[in-house]
């Protein structure tokens, strides 16, 4: 069984992430959306909220799981016996950043990173932009799955 982990902060999940996860499921038997816990980072949404948004989004998708993890992504992959890391690429900046991480990960463990190019209509979406729109009371609903709603 081919399984991939899709790691990130998902603060919050966007339609860009959604697109990569849905397409990832056509390549892998299981896609595990893994929310990395970084104690030094300030988040807009709590870990519980971020997890709930993703779980609700994929409630009808048995091939998609949501988990949280601490520490190195490759160590977590070994722990849960996953051979692939799935990542999305939006632009050259993403490429340079992802290239360094993927090479480092390959030095640390025999785990392949698989990249999917963003879809044209979601390529501009980033969680940081969504947070900015939310902070300034803009309409963020076009950028995120329906489960992401601020009370």
Taken in order 36, 26, 12, 98, the sign of the CA dihedral is: positive
| Distance between CA atoms of residues 140 and 133, nearest Å | 6
* Residue 45 in contact with ligand ADP, rule: CB under 6 A: no
Residue 90 designated active-site: yes
Distance CA 134, CA 151 (A): 12
Question: Which of 51, 88, 113, 148 is the binder for ligand ADP (CB under 6 A)?
Answer: 88
3-state SS class at 8: strand
127 classed as catalytic: yes
Contacts to ligand ADP from residues 98-137, by CB under 6 A: 118, 122-123, 125-127
Residues 6 or more apart whose Cβ sits within 8 Å of residue 70: 36, 37
Active site residues: 17, 41, 90, 127
Catalog residues that contact ligand ADP under the rule CB under 6 A: 8-10, 14, 16-17, 20, 87-88, 90, 94, 118, 122-123, 125-127
Annotated binding site: 9-10, 17, 41, 73, 87-90, 98, 122-128
């Amino acid at each position: 069984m081919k399984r991939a982990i899709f790691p990130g902060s998902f603060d919050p999940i966007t339609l860009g992430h959604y697109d990569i996860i849905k397409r990832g499921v056509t390549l892998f038997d299981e896609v595990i959306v893994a929310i990395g816990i970084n104690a030094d980072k300030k988040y807009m949404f709590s870990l519980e909220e971020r997890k709930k948004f993703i779980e609700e989004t994929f409630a009808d998708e048995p091939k998609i799981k949501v988990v949280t993890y601490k520490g190195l992504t490759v160590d977590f992959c070994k722990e849960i016996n996953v051979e692939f890391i799935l990542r999305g690429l939006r632009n050259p900046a993403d490429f340079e950043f992802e290239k360094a991480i993927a090479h480092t990960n390959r030095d640390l463990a025999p785990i392949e990173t698989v990249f999917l190019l963003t879809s044209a209509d979601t390529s501009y979406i980033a969680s940081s932009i969504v947070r900015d729109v939310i902070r300034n009371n803009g309409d963020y609903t076009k950028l995120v799955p329906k489960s992401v709603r601020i009370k």
